[in-house]
A and B are shown apart, each in its own frame.
Chain A
Amino acid sequence: MNSIRPKNLDLSTIELPLPAKASIIHRVSGFILFFAVAFMLSALAASLESAESFAGLKAAFDNGLVKFIAWGILSALGYHFVAGIKHLLMDMGIGETKESGRTGAMITLVAGLIVIVLAGVWVW
């Protein structure tokens, strides 16, 4: 490879193509989910400990902040799920060309958005 070819790795000057946007959101959502597991395990523990703690958890969902955090986690999970499906499809050789990759990224972003809206409707 030509080692003196011009390089520009300054991301702030690059307009990311659509598949790159779909990919970086997948990564960011995964990073968020890493920490979200702590919230999910807390909720699971409260939901299973006793009838009182189960009722307490249900009551906690009346709080706007709790709803928002739950929506945030479901959104990250929903997008990560959709983008993960795209990954698995691409592993099977589906949507690997430049054009179909763009289409796949578009479908992923739109489907992700739909899941995020649905999660919001579910929580509120």
Chain B
Amino acid sequence: MVASVTNLGRSGLYDWVIQRLTAVILALYTLFLVGFVAASPDLQFAQWQGLFAQTWMKVFSLAALMSICGHAWVGMWTISTDYLKNAGVRFLFQLVCAGFLFVYLVWGIDILWSV
């Protein structure tokens, strides 16, 4: 077996599990947020900010944010290894993806903990 140093879980099986676990978290978060917004046709700032001021919502949102990073890494890694045959190009693409996700993570935490 060829050891891969760029896939998230160091093995296809770990990546498979990470992809599913994060998918379930993201699905629940999506359903919750869409449900919340759809159930409040005249959503006001106080109500919206009140939701994100709750500790459980911060934890839920952070779980979703981390899930995005893990889920998107596995997905973009798979895309890069499927289509980018040149190792240098593939590594550069993965580096850019990692950069995006790192920014998303720091930015997201900053947003969540500024409330």
Partner-B contacts on A (CB < 8 A): 27, 30-31, 33-35, 37-38, 41, 44-45, 47-51, 54-55, 77, 81, 84-85, 87-88, 91, 122
Is B23 close to A, CB under 8 A?
yes
Closest-CB distance, A53 to chain B (whole angstroms): 9
Q: Determine if A54 and B45 form an interchain contact, defined as CB atoms under 8 angstroms apart.
A: yes
Partner-A contacts on B (CB < 8 A): 20, 23-24, 27, 30, 38, 45-46, 48-49, 52, 68, 72, 75-76, 79, 97, 100, 104, 107-108, 111, 114-115
Q: Determine if A54 and B100 form an interchain contact, defined as CB atoms under 8 angstroms apart.
A: no
Closest-CB distance, A106 to chain B (whole angstroms): 21
Q: Determine if B72 and A34 form an interchain contact, defined as CB atoms under 8 angstroms apart.
A: yes
What separation, in Å, do the CA atoms of A42 and B33 have in the docked complex? 16
Q: Determine if A81 and B48 form an interchain contact, defined as CB atoms under 8 angstroms apart.
A: no
Q: Determine if A55 and B79 form an interchain contact, defined as CB atoms under 8 angstroms apart.
A: no
Q: Determine if A41 and B111 form an interchain contact, defined as CB atoms under 8 angstroms apart.
A: yes
Q: Determine if A31 and B79 form an interchain contact, defined as CB atoms under 8 angstroms apart.
A: yes
On chain B, the residues within 8 Å of A54 by CB distance are 45, 48-49
On chain B, the residues within 8 Å of A91 by CB distance are 20
On chain A, the residues within 8 Å of B49 by CB distance are 48, 54
Assuming A48-B115, A55-B45, is B100 touching A34 (CB within 8 A)? yes
On chain B, the residues within 8 Å of A44 by CB distance are 108, 111
Assuming A77-B30, A81-B27, is B79 touching A41 (CB within 8 A)? no
On chain A, the residues within 8 Å of B20 by CB distance are 88, 91
**A51 in complex: contacting residue of B23, B38, B45, B100, CB < 8 Å:** B45
Q: Determine if B111 and A45 form an interchain contact, defined as CB atoms under 8 angstroms apart.
A: yes
Q: Determine if B97 and A48 form an interchain contact, defined as CB atoms under 8 angstroms apart.
A: no
On chain B, the residues within 8 Å of A81 by CB distance are 27, 30
What separation, in Å, do the CA atoms of A51 and B44 have in the docked complex? 9
On chain B, the residues within 8 Å of A35 by CB distance are 100
